[in-house]
Amino acid sequence: MKKNFVRAVFPGSFDPITNGHLDVVSRGVKLFDELIIAVGRSPIKEPLFTPQERVDIIAELIKDMPRVSVESFEGLTVKYVKQRKADVILRGLRSLTDVQYEFQLAMTNRSVAGVETVFIMTSEQYGFTSSTLIREVASLGGDISRLVPKIVYARIQQKLKK
């Protein structure tokens, strides 16, 4: 039976959130009643922002989106999804390379916890945008201003000055 109210969780590292992620959020919000952006603590070798900083940045970016919220979580994504009484996991797809990994992840989440995953393909212009590359290019002085929202760009510049 179709549910009347669908809550989705969009989990990720979001270190930092990019225009590609935001594109998925703005498309996702049209499909679900509520969307929670969930900042995981997955170990990144050299993180740029702390989970709290990532949450603060995202909160600023979504402040005018009524049905979208952000929080951080620890541990297994599916446990968090159940705890928040969410119905689906939302993930973004950029390329065939993503599909392979995401397919495996989605199958695992479904078989261990019965949680379904919904995928949204990003707009072509963000198909090559990745947080990992943004961290690398920015730390080497490259211009990433077109790939991230203005406030993320400013926060990265601040971070790198330190």
3-state secondary structure of 39: strand
16 binds ligand ADP (CB under 6 A): no
Q: Does 109 bind ligand ADP (CB under 6 A)?
A: no
Beta-bridge partners for 8? 35, 88
| Known catalytic residue at 155 | no
Q: Are 23 and 147 in contact (CB under 8 A)?
A: no
Q: For residues 108 and 3, what is the distance between their CA atoms, to the nearest angstrom?
A: 23
What's the rounded Cα separation, in Å, for the pair 51 and 48? 10
- What part of residues 35-94 is at the interface with ligand ADP (CB under 6 A)? 42, 91-92, 94
Residue type, 16: P
* Least distance from ligand ADP to the Cβ atom of residue 109, Å: 12
Binding of ligand ADP at residue 14 (CB under 6 A)? yes
Size of the site for ligand ADP (CB under 6 A): 17
45 is catalytic: yes
Interface contacts to ligand ADP, rule CB under 6 A: 12-14, 18, 20-21, 24, 42, 91-92, 94, 98, 122, 126, 129-131
